[in-house]
Structure 1
Amino acid sequence: MRPALLILASLSAPAATSTCTGVLCNPEALAPYFARLTATAEARGTPPVHILQIGDSHTAGDAVTGAWRDLLQARFGGGGRGVLPPGRPYDGYVTRGVTASMSPGWAIGATFGKAAAAPRPPLGLSGFSMTAMRSGASMALNAAPGMGFDRLVLCAIGGPDAGGVSVRFDGQDQGRLDFAAPSSRPICRTIRSTTLRASVEIVAASRSLTITSWATFQDDGGVALSNLGVVGSQLAHFARTDDAVVAEELKAYRPDLIVLAFGTNEGFAPHFDPVAFEAVLRSQITRLRLLSGNVPMLLLGAPDSLSRQPALRANAPGALTGCEGVGEQSMLFAPPALAAVREIQRRVAGDMGLAWWDWQSRMGGPCAARNWVQRDAPLMRGDYVHFNSAGGLEVARRLQADLDRGAATAE
């Protein structure tokens, strides 16, 4: 196993375009996903359409992704909760649609944050890992109504010393998943049920087992939407994940659409390096295309966000956009790096031929966050960065409306 590197391999990618204009650019790059979604009504008894979103706190908080999940599942049918980080990897961990719990006895690893100190175990799509420190350490998921499942996937690091786990569905023993292997390598195991289940508990049979992710699906058509976000992270932190782990998980979880949703934390960095950001963006798009086998990708532009921190007034070249008061004297402003992030995202999407959604534009353009916070029924929190439940629903509605229009033009 190795950490993610700049991948220079050639692969069959969508045809590149020279420009990326409009609210949703390059919708034709999503044609395979649109076709799969259209066919799901006739796909009963088969795995759901799977959307896999990777990002920062906007993804981790699940305000937008959770509302988008609800919209799609109401329209096309439920496909389960999808992929989750193992256990409860941090305080305040949000699991809309399921309740996650775990016992003491686990060591947490992460791509970013207090659990990211080296040496880190190999990490995958979720950005987190849990290593059993004692026999009997357990973790569980309890599904909310409508989130029942008939397939569990558990991904861990196998090896000569790797242990196994016992599995219970609704308190009933389902046997053991073993991760022993001649050499260290990522392994994803699956258990299926002939009936819908509402809970799963796994119990470590011994120490020396590192779990990188798990998932619950209902294989009866419909849609599953996985939100894998690390609070405070940037795309450069996702680059710390291990190629072999990510490849094994993508093979097991089989997404039909990968959504990349970074940019806010890059835009709020004290010093933004546009060259480094563009290099990471291009390399991670190339990497995910290679490891996933060219699954369609949607790049979300950074949403409109504002700050009052003086240190961010000049975190990148460019004019300051003041949103409270007059110009340079404004106390509430958009850090200049955010505009630079969006411009790079748009240009790279055009160059590499992937879909890009202009989140800021669909909020109303520059300074929209002020209106979303200060309206009578706020759609954002008072930090001018994060969305509340009502705002998440509004963003999800606008995103899906644009995707529906894109699907019509991509036919």
Structure 2
Amino acid sequence: MKAGIVIAALAASQSTPEVCTERLCYADNIAPFFEALAESERDDGDPVHILQLGDSHTAGDMITNGWREELRERYGHGGRGVLAAGRPYGGYLTWGVTASQTSGWEVNSTFGRGYANYGRPLGLSGFSQTARAEGEMLGISADTPDQGFNRIIVCAISQPDAGTLTMRLGFETERFELDGPGQRTVCRTMDSDFPQLGASVTTEDDRVVTVTSFATMMREGGVALSNLGVSGSQFVHVGRSSDEVVRAELAAYDPDLLVIAFGTNEGFSQQLAPSEFEGDLRVQVNRLRRLAGRDIPILLIGAPDANTRNRGLADNFGAPVPCADPPGVNSGGRPWYTPTLLAELRDRQRRVARDMGLAFWDWNAAMGGRCGAHRWRSRELMRGDRVHFNQTGGARIGQMLFADLERAAAASSER
């Protein structure tokens, strides 16, 4: 190798920033979010909005609800945030509010049995709901008075000969006409002078209507944390959403922080190459930034630990090591394993965060590292599958994430 090439290579390696190994890394990349929190008021100004995209961990809302409750206590209630419209599947969980719908809606989703390649357009929620009859309803009601809202935002598809919705917020109503010259996404905001406990949209006729998302917010003050997850999905499946829908929804919901929380399903894969995962991650981050039309602050949450008793399933990036049983636990000769691909994918996530100007939070480190899921299960913080969290464990993770971000925000304000 020529001397000039050697010198250039050395200079390039020396200029590349070291990979952070802390639990929260590159927090300066979300400084605008910290500034929004610092300037927020409990009862004044626009609510701060955090929007999280993810898999079943996000859909189940255990971790996000734990984080949400800490934010509400510290900064005030900003509303429940963005949700999929209605109840797109059985077991759909929405802490703080209850979602409902009539039976005449047809669901499309970015992943799973509901996915139709040529189905109705999809947006940030990962689901769309389509009706073709009069009187079909999608609704949200607050579970307690402190979960009320005085603003709703509904995003739907406008197209030739589309139907009309009646939007209800408390006892007030507005008509939302979707008939238009070409297919596009329109998001309608409806406000009330006082907090309400219920909202809905109802079809007025038998023309086609597609709703992509439904948000309940406070007009002023507090923090809203939206959890938009699709069980079983991987980050690459976000690419099945429509650019046009996502662009319109990002403009309407205007998040101060975008959180990306994938990696568990990818980590159990038997076919996924780490380089493919990293490439998909970079592509989708660039896409979301482009559709947001701004350098939106992004927090990338690294994949948590998860365990399986299927050694072959765990042997997907080198031989797995059995998890030691915590005190008082006997696995009975059937040990638990962490899929070996998880650690490699997590390293890729951290590197992408460094290279692309994202913040990174190490969920695995928060659990205590490899085999953490087995230990958390022994303390009754996870379900028996050693993959999903119960409400207590989810709240614990949410509290840890909140605390790490609060410390980073305090440090940012001092600089």
Scaled by the length of structure 1, the TM-score of the pair is 0.91
Is the Cα–Cα contact under 8 Å of residues 247 and 291 in structure 1 kept in the other structure? yes
Number of residue-to-residue matches in the alignment: 389
Query: Which residue identity does 2:402 align to in structure 1?
Result: Q
Is 1:233 matched up with 2:237?
no
Partner of 2:143: 144
Is the Cα–Cα contact under 8 Å of residues 152 and 169 in structure 2 kept in the other structure? no
Q: Deviations over 1:95-148 (max 9, x none)?
A: 111011100111100000111033221100000000012111111111122111
Q: 328, 345, 348: which is aligned to 2:349? A: 345
**Aligned partners of 2:23 and 2:382: how far apart in 1?**
21
Supply the RMSD in Å over aligned alpha carbons: 1.6
Structure 2: tracts of 5 or more residues without a match: 1-15, 326-332
Partner of 1:300: 301
Q: Deviations over 1:182-240 (max 9, x none)?
A: 11011111111111111012111233111000101012210000000001100011111
Q: Deviations over 1:50-99 (max 9, x none)?
A: 00000000000000101111110111110110000011000100011101
Q: Deviations over 1:338-373 (max 9, x none)?
A: 111101101111111210001111111111111100
Which one is further off, 342-351 or 330-339?
Answer: 330-339
Partner of 1:358: 362
Superposition pairs of residues 1-400 of structure 1, within 5 angstroms: 17-41=17-41, 44-145=43-144, 146-170=146-170, 172-206=171-205, 207-292=207-292, 293-316=294-317, 318-324=318-324, 331-375=335-379, 378-400=380-402
Partner SS, residue 59 of structure 1: helix
Is the Cα–Cα contact under 8 Å of residues 311 and 337 in structure 2 kept in the other structure? no
Query: Which residue identity does 1:111 align to in structure 2?
Result: T
Structure 1: tracts of 5 or more residues without a match: 1-15
**Aligned partners of 1:29 and 1:313: how far apart in 2?**
34
Partner SS, residue 83 of structure 1: strand
**Aligned partners of 1:181 and 1:321: how far apart in 2?**
59
Partner of 2:8: none
Is the Cα–Cα contact under 8 Å of residues 108 and 127 in structure 2 kept in the other structure? yes
Scaled by the length of structure 2, the TM-score of the pair is 0.91
Partner SS, residue 31 of structure 1: helix
Change (3 A) 1:17 1:215: farther
Q: Identity across aligned pairs (percent)?
A: 48
Is the Cα–Cα contact under 8 Å of residues 19 and 351 in structure 1 kept in the other structure? no
1:270 CA displacement: 2.3
Change (3 A) 1:120 1:150: same
Runs of 4+ with >3 A deviation:
none
**Aligned partners of 1:397 and 1:45: how far apart in 2?**
25
Query: Which residue identity does 2:390 align to in structure 1?
Result: N
**Aligned partners of 2:110 and 2:119: how far apart in 1?**
8
Query: Which residue identity does 1:269 align to in structure 2?
Result: S
Query: Which residue identity does 1:38 align to in structure 2?
Result: A
Partner of 1:10: none
Is the Cα–Cα contact under 8 Å of residues 142 and 197 in structure 2 kept in the other structure? yes
Partner SS, residue 52 of structure 1: strand
- Higher normalized contact order (CA 8 Å, seq sep 6+, divided by chain length): 1
Partner of 1:408: 410
1:174 CA displacement: 1.0
1:396 CA displacement: 1.0
